[in-house]
Amino acid sequence: MSRAAATPLLPGLRAWWTMLVICLEERLAYRGDFILGTAMRFLPIVTQVFLWTAVFAATTRSDIAGYSRTDIVAYYLLTMVTRAFSSMPGLAGGIARSVRDGSIKKYLVQPVDYVSFLLAARIAHKLVYYAVALIPFGVVFVICRGYFPPVPDAATIAVFTLSLVLSFLLGFFMEATLGMLGFWFLEVSSIIFAYMLVQYLLSGHMFPLDMLAGVPTGLAGVSVADVVRWLPFEYTAYFPAAVWLGKIRGAELARSLAIETAWVVVMAVACRVAWWRGTRRYSAFGG
């Protein structure tokens, strides 16, 4: 890289790093509330363990769609990790609210890129969240270690880690793009609710998507699971968990990683286009 090309890059990186540090300090300002909220996220684990124990007790089958009772519990615990990366609570609504109340205009007149600021804020949120949740997560996984198969090989762990990073980026750009619909619609809460409902059902957070393999679409040889795997939702919960459990291997694993990466690029471009188009039709008055 030439010196001329590096010169504008360094100030940009320094500005982004400054935003990240400020966002970290902001997250740490209310540590008690953050710790309590993090701890409460672990309560649904007990419910899910009891639920799937009851489901398997009511049937004579030893597995459902290739998942035993222990596999289901391990799968749900792993999707909690994935959702902790991919979920962006309040992001879409916060963007739409900023557009509606006019507070977004400061990002139009200050030398701060709004999308970069939001990304830094979410990275800060995740760093603080995992710093707080590391011990509870560790305790839960130690207690439930009997539900998990042996630790996979290094290559699988590397792919799992990569899928978590991609799920974070995918979740961020999807919700940021959704929030920028506020440039065109006065109220987007119904759209956000519909998105959250579809995302919850099709991400695999409720149940493994393998259970949809036998559900027909009306097309010859095509199941609902085949359609869902081409959508971005499964990569925000199901995919990393299935990778760790060894449910996806070989060529299918490579194909799924390529699809996830493609969706990250598509949604990143869509987010930038929505910001560019939205700010050109946006008007704000007053101080």
CB 237 within 8 A of CB 200: no
Confidence (pLDDT) at 1: 46
List the one residue out of 202, 180, 158, 161 whose CA is nearest residue 268: 180
Confidence (pLDDT) at 229: 86
- Is the Cα dihedral 231, 234, 240, 243 positive or negative? negative
- Is the Cα dihedral 182, 185, 186, 190 positive or negative? negative
To the nearest 10°, report the CA torsion of 266, 83, 210, 214.
-70
3-state secondary structure of 223: strand
**At a CB cut-off of 8 Å and minimum separation 6, what does 281 contact?**
183, 184
The pTM of this model reads 0.82
Confidence (pLDDT) at 130: 78
What DSSP state is assigned to residue 104?
G
Could you give the CA distance from residue 227 to residue 234 in angstroms, rounded to a whole number?
A: 11
Confidence (pLDDT) at 8: 52
**At a CB cut-off of 8 Å and minimum separation 6, what does 66 contact?**
210, 247
Residue 3 CB-density burial (10 A; 0-12 exposed, 13-18 middle, 19+ buried): exposed
Confidence (pLDDT) at 2: 45
Neighbours of 90 (CB within 10 A): 11
Residue 216 β-bridge partners? 223
Q: How crowded is the C-beta side of 251, counted as CA atoms within 13 Å?
A: 0
Confidence (pLDDT) at 29: 59
- Domain locations along the chain: 11-281
Residue 223 β-bridge partners? 216
Name the amino acid, one letter, at 91.
L
Confidence (pLDDT) at 234: 92
Confidence (pLDDT) at 128: 76
**At a CB cut-off of 8 Å and minimum separation 6, what does 70 contact?**
146, 147, 148
Neighbours of 76 (CB within 10 A): 25
> How many residues appear in the chain?
287
What DSSP state is assigned to residue 151?
P
Per-residue pLDDT of the chain (287 residues; tens, 9 = 90+): 444 444 455 556 676 567 666 666 665 556 565 566 656 666 667 777 777 778 887 877 778 778 888 888 889 888 888 888 898 988 999 999 988 888 888 888 777 788 988 998 888 878 877 777 777 777 778 888 888 888 899 999 999 999 999 999 999 999 999 999 999 988 888 899 999 989 988 998 888 888 887 777 667 677 788 888 889 999 999 999 999 998 888 899 999 999 999 999 999 999 999 999 998 887 765 54
